[in-house]
């Protein structure tokens, strides 16, 4: 059953909500909550991210939204559905695209305008639980923690780590994150989000307002989203199983009884006895 409002984690939903001229004010409002006072956006324009790609392969994996403020700052905004290997490396690599774009032919003094990479993540990328933070603001700092370079910034939001309920929302930023995380679950506009900026977001996200072609595109996007999540879940399960097998092998080599190993690893005695 399709919900009243679309899933903003899908490619279609994310770009419909943040990546069109008609919804540009939503993106500006959201981004300004992540930016320092000196880089607040008054106006922005969307840029074609594929124009930055040197190769066909790069164009296949280019980021979701690329835009530029009227004062020149560049912003990459991504909604990442599933956990991937080397995600931080990928983020750094993508941040080089708008840096290279600023190079000029002829005599150039290497002056660069700020670049922001902003990722909204539908997964936890921190492996160790004690290191997990919902929001990470990252820039280059020296050994004393002082900012060394203030023109390259990374903003990571690990959405599963945002656990505030409606009555706990304190800031406009809290409301935005709550809106994005629960949009597909709403069947009406909650009182705390009954503000013009969110009213517009709900109006854009209402599935019944989509054209026939948009609805078909959304269904395709939902399928892709579900397939990505299923692949992640499968990989997680397989990874857990492989880990249990390695533990069982080690315990067998150390002389532990099969029953003890089965209790600890939750593998069946038959699986343990048939280990190579």
Q: pTM for this structure?
A: 0.78
Per-residue confidence (pLDDT) for residue 236, from 0 to 100 = 52
Q: Encode pLDDT of 84-108 as tens digits.
A: 767 888 889 889 989 988 998 889 9
Q: Which helix (H) or strand (E) holds 140?
A: strand 135-141
Alpha helices in 83-171 (DSSP H): 87-100
Of 47-56, 142-151, 206-215, the least confident: 47-56
Per-residue confidence (pLDDT) for residue 61, from 0 to 100 = 45
Per-residue confidence (pLDDT) for residue 64, from 0 to 100 = 80
Per-residue confidence (pLDDT) for residue 276, from 0 to 100 = 74
Per-residue confidence (pLDDT) for residue 123, from 0 to 100 = 85
Query: Distance (Å, rounded) from C-alpha 7 to C-alpha 9?
Result: 5
Per-residue confidence (pLDDT) for residue 27, from 0 to 100 = 95
Per-residue confidence (pLDDT) for residue 151, from 0 to 100 = 94
Per-residue confidence (pLDDT) for residue 274, from 0 to 100 = 80
Q: Encode pLDDT of 104-148 as tens digits.
A: 888 999 999 999 999 999 888 877 777 789 999 999 999 999 999
Contact assessment for residue 224 and residue 245, using Cβ atoms and an 8 Å cutoff: no
Enter the tokens of residue 10. Answer: 């899908």
Enter the tokens of residue 175. Answer: 């409301």
Mean of the per-residue pLDDT values of the chain: 85
Q: For residue 201, how far is the Cα from the chain centroid?
A: 19
Per-residue confidence (pLDDT) for residue 132, from 0 to 100 = 86
Contact assessment for residue 157 and residue 135, using Cβ atoms and an 8 Å cutoff: yes
Q: Encode pLDDT of 24-46 as tens digits.
A: 999 999 999 999 888 899 999 98
3-state secondary structure of 117: strand
Query: Distance (Å, rounded) from C-alpha 65 to C-alpha 199?
Result: 22
Average pLDDT over residues 164-169: 95
> Is residue 203 scored above 90 in pLDDT?
yes
How sure is the predictor about 56, in pLDDT bands with cuts at 50, 70 and 90?
A: very low
How sure is the predictor about 234, in pLDDT bands with cuts at 50, 70 and 90?
A: low
- Provide CB contacts within 8 A for 35, sequence distance 6+: 41, 116
Q: Encode pLDDT of 6-21 as tens digits.
A: 999 888 999 999 999 9
Provide the residue ranges of all domains of the chain, joining segments of one domain with +: 11-232, 240-273
Per-residue confidence (pLDDT) for residue 275, from 0 to 100 = 81
Q: Encode pLDDT of 57-82 as tens digits.
A: 444 445 688 999 988 899 999 888 77
Phi first, then psi: what are they for 5, rounded to 5°?
-115, 145
Exposed / middle / buried, residue 153 (Cβ in 10 Å: 0-12, 13-18, 19+): buried
Other C-beta atoms within 10 Å of 240: how many? 11
pLDDT above 90 covers a percentage of the chain that reads 51
């Amino acid at each position: 059953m399709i919900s009243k409002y679309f899933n903003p984690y899908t490619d279609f939903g994310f770009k419909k909500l943040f990546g069109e001229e008609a919804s540009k004010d939503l993106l500006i409002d959201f981004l300004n909550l992540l930016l320092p006072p000196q880089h607040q956006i008054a106006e922005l324009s969307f840029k074609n991210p594929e124009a930055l790609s040197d190769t066909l392969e790069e164009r296949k994996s280019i980021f979701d939204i690329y835009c530029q403020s009227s004062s020149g700052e560049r912003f990459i905004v991504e909604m990442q559905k599933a956990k991937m290997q080397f995600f931080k490396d990928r983020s750094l690599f993508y941040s080089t695209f708008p840096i290279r774009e600023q190079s000029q032919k002829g005599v150039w003094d290497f002056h660069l305008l700020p670049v922001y990479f902003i990722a909204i993540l539908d997964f936890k990328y921190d492996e160790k639980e004690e290191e997990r933070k919902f929001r990470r603001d990252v820039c280059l700092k020296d050994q004393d923690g002082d900012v060394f370079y203030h023109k390259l910034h990374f903003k990571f939001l690990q959405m599963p780590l945002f656990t505030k309920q409606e009555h706990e929302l304190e800031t406009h930023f809290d409301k935005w994150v709550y809106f994005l995380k629960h949009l597909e679950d709403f069947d009406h506009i909650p009182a705390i989000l009954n503000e013009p900026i969110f009213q517009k977001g709900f109006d854009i996200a209402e599935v019944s307002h989509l054209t026939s072609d948009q609805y078909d595109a959304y269904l395709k996007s939902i399928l892709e989203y579900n397939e990505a999540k299923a692949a992640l879940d499968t990989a997680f399960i397989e990874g857990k199983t492989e880990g249990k097998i390695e533990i069982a092998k080690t315990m067998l080599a150390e002389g532990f009884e099969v029953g003890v190993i089965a209790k600890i690893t939750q593998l069946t005695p038959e699986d343990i006895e048939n280990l190579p």
